Structures are given as C-alpha cells and as structure tokens.
Chains A and B, each alone.
Chain A
Amino acid sequence: MRKRSLIPILYIAFLMLPIYWLVAMSFKTTNEILSGFSLFPQTFTLDNYKVIFTDPSWYWGYINSIIYVSMNTVISVAVALPAAYAFSRYRFLGDKQLFFWLLTNRMAPAAVFALPFFQLYSSVGLFDTHIAVALAHCLFNIPLAVWILEGFMGGVPKELDETAYVDGYSFPHFFVTIFLPTIKAGVGVAAFFCFMFSWVELLLAKTLTAVQAKPIAAEMTKTASSAGYELGLLAAAGTLTIIPGAIVIYFVRNYIAKGFALGRV
C-alpha cells in the first residue's frame, strides 16, 4: 500500500514543480532572476504584484476576463438546460444528427475560426466588447454544457417527471422547483466547465478584442516577447491567473471526476 501511494505523490510533485517555479519567480527582483540561479527568492519582493495592482491596463485585464467568462457561463448554462432536457427525454426529428453537429463544434480547431470570427463580429459591430468574446466562446461551451447536462439528466428516472405532471405541476413549475434541484450537481459541473474553458482560451479572446475588453492572458504577451526582461512581472501575472481556477475547483471538488466523465459514470 505504501509503495502504491508513491505514484500519486510523485505525479503531484511533478505537477507542482513548474507552478512552484512560477510563484517563486514572481517574488524575485529582475536583478536576481537575471544574475543567476536561486531555488528560493533571496530578496523577497512584492514589487511585481504592486505593478499589476496599480496599473489599470494590467488589472483591467483581469476584470475583462472575469466579465466575459461570467457572461459566457450564464448564457451557456441557461440555453443548454432546456436543450439537454429535450435530448434526454424526447425523440424528435433529427435529434441524433443535431447532437452530433453540436459536438462537431467542440472539435473545430480555434485557429480555423480566428479570422472569420474577427470579420463576423466586426461586421455586426461587436468587436472589442465583452459580449463578443462571451458569444464566441459559446461555440465550444454550449455543446459541452449540453453534453454534460444531458448525462446528468439521463440519470434521473422519468417517473419523476410523470409523477409531477400527475400531481398537476405545469412544466415550468416542475422544471424549476423539482427538476433543477435534482440535478444541481450537474448544473454546477456544467458551469464549472464553461468557466474553465472560457478562462483558459486565448486565441479567440485575443482576436476579438483590442483595448476595451482585452483579456489578462493577452495583456501578458507584452512581457513575454521581451524574453528575460520582465520575467518577474510575467510570473506574477501568471500566478494571479491560477487563483480563480483554484477557487472554483474547490467548490466542485466532489463532482469533478463525474463531470469530466460528462455525467456518464
């Protein structure tokens, strides 16, 4: 048993090493980074973080990201709920084809869509707005949300619906007061995944924004190009992007495995 638990421990250590290095770098001065190797920060400094929290172009990057990620999560889950219910409860003309077509959008390489997306959102006058990025991310998040929710809903026996109708519940009343609470774990997991994929995606977010809605991840490229120059600042900005993910993951920790299985365990 002892020997066995060595494998997850080694694996987690491997996962934590680059993260540790990023965090350690964020507390070092540029001088220290460039002057040579040190395992721990020798002259511990918070200057890198100070720059980020006092420069509007930096901290607005975070606010922009949070705004469009939240918008996307709300839109994706809201429209995916009724659709997933339809897929899990009814047969209708073209249902299988539609379900697969939705999935194909999860498969599309973002690089394929970058330029047409820019043209599309420019022509409808949404370029450089939060809602543009939120809508664009729906392309891959809605299919994912439908897929996850359908998996969770499939686990709820149909008798629940039928009993409610016999008891005189209308559909909206039943859906909100009985069905939603039953699958609230699924809703949480779907929201988590939408948050996650919208948060980590950069190519489309960067293509669709210039100034007003520029995501933090794009903001970081301005230091990345000058290799070795502002590594401490880059590391601090990177460290801060890990925190929102770490917070949301804590809330879904008991369901995350089931969520990754798309509710199909």
Chain B
Amino acid sequence: MKTENQKAWFFVLPVLLLVAFNALVPIMTVVNYSVQETFGNNVFFWQGLDWFEQILRSDRFQAALGRQFLFTFLILIIEIPLGIIIALSMPKKGMWVPVCLVLMALPMLIPWNVVGAMWNIFTLPKIGLLGYFMNDVLGIAYDMTQNPFAAWVTIIVMDVWHWTSLVVLLSYAGLVSIPDAYYQAAKIDGASPWKVFRYIQLPKMKTVLTIAILLRFMDSFNIYTEPFVLTGGGPGNSTTLLSIDLVKIALGQFDLGPAAAMSLIYFAITLLVSWLFYTLMTKDDAQ
C-alpha cells in the first residue's frame, strides 16, 4: 500500500515544469487561434466558435476524418491478430530468441521519413523490387501514384511492416511470463490448443494487449510522416489522412483559425478514445 506524502510533489516538479512548458504554451496558442480571425500584422478579431462549426460541417474535414478512422481500423484489425499469431509461434527459449527480437524491432528504429523513402524506393515501378515484381513478373498493373487502391494497400502494408513487431514483442512478453506448470496442467486435462489459447494465454496477455491496442491506436491515428513521404496524400486526396490535411491547412494555406479549431477537435477525439483504454487498463492494474 502506498503511503500518503504531499512532499512527493517536489519529485514530480521538474517533470511538471518541463512538460508544462512544452504542452501548455502551445496548446494555449492553438486555443487562441481557434477563436480568432487574423488578417496578418498581428491584428486579431474575436470569432467565437465559428471555426469549430465550419470545420465540423466541412466535407473536407469529414472526408479526412473518415479516411483516418478507416486507416486506424484496418491497422488494428490486421496488426493485432497478426502480432498475436507471430508471438505464439515464436520459440520460448534458445539462441534464436534474441536474434528474432532484434531483427523484428529493427523497423521501429528507422526514422519515419526514411521508412517512407524506403517504401517509395521499394515500390517504384521498374526500379523498386516490389514494383518490378508486381508489374513485370506477375503482370499486375501496380502504380500507387496513379491508383488510389494501390496507394491504400501500400500505406497499410507499410504500417504493418513498421509496427506489427510492437504487438509481437508485447504479446511475447506476456506469453513468456506464463509458468510451465499451466501448460502441464492443461496437457493433463487434455485441453485443445484453442482452449489453451482461450483460457491460459489470452487472459495472461490481456494487460499487454491493452497497451498494444492503446499505443497502436494513438500512433496510427496521429500518423503523418510515413504516408506523407510515401504518397504525399495522393493520388488526389485519397490518402490524405487527418494529420496531412491539418498540416496542409496550417502551413500550406496558413489558415490558422480553422487549422487550430481542427487541431483541438482532433486532439479531443484522440484523448477520448485513449481515456477509455486508460481507464480499462488501470482497472486491471488495481486488481
């Protein structure tokens, strides 16, 4: 049981100051912009909640939000089961375990724009390995700069390549923490592999899987650099996810008011969903 000690605040103070400097000032700037109109020269006019209304009603925002949810949904539905399957089939001990872990973690340590550039080089028709293989060996027309469907498949596959290992490593950490005695007991009872998974492995992986889903949700919902470098949001607007659209409005058109309102709506959605996961997770911790 933790003891009550208000002096603990002093331990937290440096963290509080550093994060507050980085978080509060910028977020207040965003809030400021979101309720004002400016014509440059630092002259501002009170705008109220007009920007919020305008953004929420605009087809462009709704389309980007729809694409964002579709992207995140596809990422979760592919990466989570795939990660569990790979973790289940990995060896539990032996010299190959660290080799597997290091190789699997490698994609996560590559700078995000290099990931985008790498997949660009990989998928170029005629030049890239995948582009060549699809077009010239299999005879399937594949060019993600022309075909929206190809662009979508490519950004999904790229993200699966980039982040499935996170789910694998988390699930694996959960699996190796199961004592051998559990499996022996299951064997004596004659439990089928499915039953072992459902009643022994899955409950043990519950905490780590919650973390995996939380992290994958947050990161795929906030994704910017990789698809931006790979497709630039195109062809047309077909892969313009929420972050890409936001940066286009803020830095491309310099519409600070609408961009700020959009930022706050965006952040609020991320917060709401993440908060749901967080309460689920801390409930588990308490037990």
Q: Closest CB-CB distance, B6 to chain A, in whole Å?
A: 5
B101 touches A256 (CB 8 A): yes
Q: Known contacts A200-B112, A217-B114: does B136 contact A37 (CB below 8 Å)?
A: yes
Task: Provide the B247-278 mask, 1 if CB < 8 A to any CB of A, else 0.
Answer: 10011000010010001001100110011001
A84 to B91, alpha carbons, bound, how many Å? Answer: 34
Cβ B218 vs Cβ A15 within 8 A: no
Given contacts A85-B11, A92-B8, A111-B247, A199 and B109 within 8 Å (CB-CB): yes
Residues of chain B with a CB closer than 8 A to A37's CB: 126-127, 132, 136
On whether A109 and B118 interact (CB within 8 A), knowing A34-B127, A86-B8, A142-B19, the answer reads no
Report if B52 contacts A (CB, 8 A): no
Contact B109 A234, beta carbon cutoff 8 Å: no
Q: Is A261 an interface residue (CB 8 A)?
A: yes
Q: Is the CB of B29 within 8 A of A116?
A: yes
> Is B105 an interface residue, CB under 8 A from the partner?
yes
Distance between Cα atoms of A248 and B108 in the complex (Å):
12
Residues of A159-213 whose CB lies within 8 A of B: 196, 199-203
Min C-beta distance of A37 to chain B, whole Å: 5
B30 interfacial by beta-carbon distance below 8 Å: yes
**What residues of A have a CB within 8 angstroms of the CB of B218 in the complex?**
106-107
Number of B positions contacting A (CB below 8 A): 96
Within 8 A of B (CB), among A1-55: 4-8, 11-12, 14-19, 21-22, 25, 33-34, 36-37, 39
Given the interface pairs A37-B126, A86-B8, A261-B170, the reply to whether A115 lies near B15 with Cβ below 8 Å is no
**Contact between chains at A18 and B122 (CB < 8 Å):** yes
A260 to B29, CA, bound (A): 33
Q: Is A131 an interface residue (CB 8 A)?
A: no
**A64 part of interface (Cβ distance < 8 Å):** no
Closest to A82 in B: B11
- B121 CB to closest chain A CB (Å) equals 6
Q: A80 and B110: CB pair below 8 A?
A: no
Kindly state the separation between the CA atoms of A185 and B266 in the bound complex, as whole angstroms: 36
- Assuming the contacts A106-B218, A116-B30, A241-B114, asked whether A260 and B169 have C-beta atoms less than 8 A apart, the reply is yes
B58 is an interface residue with CB less than 8 A from chain A? no
Judging by beta carbons under 8 Å apart, are B129 and A17 in contact? yes
Query: CB-defined interface of A84-117 with B at 8 Å, one 1/0 digit per residue?
Result: 0111011111010010101111111111111111
With most chain A CB atoms within 10 A of its CB, the pick from B23, B224, B270 is: B23
Q: Is B194 an interface residue (CB 8 A)?
A: no
Does A71 count as interface, using CB distance less than 8 angstroms? no
A21 to B129, CA, bound (A): 7
Tell me how far the C-beta of A85 lies from the nearest C-beta in chain B, rounded to whole angstroms: 6
A contact residues, range: 35 or more
Q: Are B19 and A139 in contact (CB under 8 A)?
A: yes
Give every chain A residue within 8 A of B113 (Cβ-Cβ). 202, 217-218, 220-221, 224
Q: Which of A34, A79, A90 contacts B15 (CB 8 A)?
A: A79
Q: Which A residues are closer than 8 A to B by beta carbons?
A: 4-8, 11-12, 14-19, 21-22, 25, 33-34, 36-37, 39, 75, 79-80, 82-83, 85-87, 89-93, 95, 98, 100, 102-117, 119-120, 135-136, 138-139, 142-143, 146, 196, 199-203, 216-218, 220-221, 224, 228, 231, 234-235, 238, 241-242, 244-246, 248-250, 253-254, 256-258, 260-262, 264-265
| Chain B interface (Cβ < 8 Å from any Cβ of A) | 2-9, 11-12, 14-16, 18-19, 21-23, 25-27, 29-30, 85-86, 89-91, 98, 100-114, 117-122, 124, 126-130, 132, 136, 161, 164-166, 168-170, 172-174, 176-177, 207-208, 211, 218, 221-222, 224-225, 229, 242-243, 246-247, 250-251, 256, 259, 263, 266-267, 270-271, 274-275, 278, 285
Could you give 12 example pairs across A and B, Cβ below 8 Å?
A14-B161, A16-B103, A17-B130, A79-B15, A83-B12, A92-B9, A111-B246, A120-B26, A201-B111, A224-B120, A261-B211, A264-B285
